[in-house]
Amino acid sequence: MTTNNASRLDVIDALRGFAIVSIMLLHNIEHFDFYFTPAGLPDWLKAVDKVIWDSLFFLFGGKSYAIFALLFGMTFYIQYHNRAVRGEDFRPRFAWRLVLLLGFGMLNSMFYHGDILSIYAVLGFALIPVARLSNRWVLAIAVVLLLQPYAWIEVIQALPNPDQKLADPASWAYFGAANEYFAKGTAAQVWWGNLTNGKVGVIRWSWENGRIFQIPALFMLGMLAGRKGVFKEGNNAFWRKTLVVAVLAFIPFYTLKTWPELLGVGQAVGRPLQTIITSWSNVAFMAILVSTFSLLFYSQLWLEVFSPLGRMSLTSYVVQSIVGTSIYYGFGLGMYQYTGASFALLIGIMLAVVQRQFSVWWLARHAQGPLETLWHRMTWVGGTSLVRARN
């Protein structure tokens, strides 16, 4: 590809691939949600591990999945628009596509209880009723969701007694129970535990941290991005403005997120405020990453290195869960016992390189990844398909 013939989808594939790699690195240093610090590490390595941990979470924690959500909405727009041009309504087929995605998500949840596919599948239904609304209405709904309305209700409810001591979030108990079978369980015990205990814990955590509101909002913003064509080449002015606004918003949000004592409020008020501020901070930094990537893409051709992973994002995401948990959990290699953030990051980089090369090899022989092909074919069972299928 050259800058002259790049399609509007090339940057989307590369950006999606970038998100896949950053998710891979985060999941590895987390041992795929099995938080454990190996004993006996020298002080210098602990210090390096902390720098790596803090840096990766600053860059990607809560942002990579947000990029995925934005691009999910963008993909919906492309599919909806392509069908609308042909006089067809894509929404019924999209609903079936979401049901299929839920199936993929539940399969992935067996291996990694932090799976996001199943949550996207359920919340993706929010796009169906707004698909034909005007841009103003869609933007208004997205903004309301981004404001975290339920967390504001909690703030108001806590005002009469702001210093009330709160119990630990309900999700913590589920994650504590998960650590037992991550360390000592058989593969079957891990898979069952993830589908029962783990799934409930992740849903509760997503609610507690405002993602149930944030995700559909990002879907809608992605759909609007598609309508406005902001990912087309030559839209640098838009991305420069977005970058400036995002930086100006991120600085105060991140400051309050990092030093919550600046709010000067009690725990009962502070916890929901932190949910709101953290959500806004992550969205602002996600906008910084997307803007920067979009500005650089057409001039920095090396960013195309991420494109094969982006074109096989579903396969890449599921495979990393299967391989990663087999590396770190007790039923597999049990590497959680020996790897701090530094060594886990190296493993993550190696896995990302291998997965990228596999994607290149596969796409040289097939139009789509294996799970993408299955998803596409099952989506269009009983109907015609797009000539050029896109995940």
pLDDT in tens, 340-369: 999 999 999 999 999 999 999 999 999 999
In a domain, 270, yes or no: yes
pTM, two decimal places: 0.93
Q: Tens digit of pLDDT for each residue in 59-87? A: 999 999 999 999 999 999 999 999 999 99
* Residue 22 pLDDT > 80: yes
User: Considering its fold, how many domains does the chain have in total?
Assistant: 1
Evaluate whether 104 touches 110 at the Cβ level (below 8 Å): no
pLDDT for res 8: 46
pLDDT for res 386: 42
In a domain, 60, yes or no: yes
Share of the chain above pLDDT 90, in %: 92
In a domain, 226, yes or no: yes
Question: Which two three-digit tokens encode residue 195?
Answer: 């589908």
In a domain, 387, yes or no: no
In a domain, 204, yes or no: yes
Separation of alpha carbons 113 and 194, rounded Å: 5
Q: Tens digit of pLDDT for each residue in 83-125? A: 999 999 999 999 999 999 999 999 999 999 999 999 999 999 9
What is the signed CA dihedral for 250, 253, 257, 261, rounded to 10 degrees? 140
Mention every residue, 6+ apart, whose C-beta is less than 8 A from residue 64: 19, 22, 23, 26
pLDDT for res 320: 96
In a domain, 389, yes or no: no
Domain of 273 in residue numbering reads as 10-379
In a domain, 340, yes or no: yes
Q: Residue 113 gets which letter from DSSP? A: T
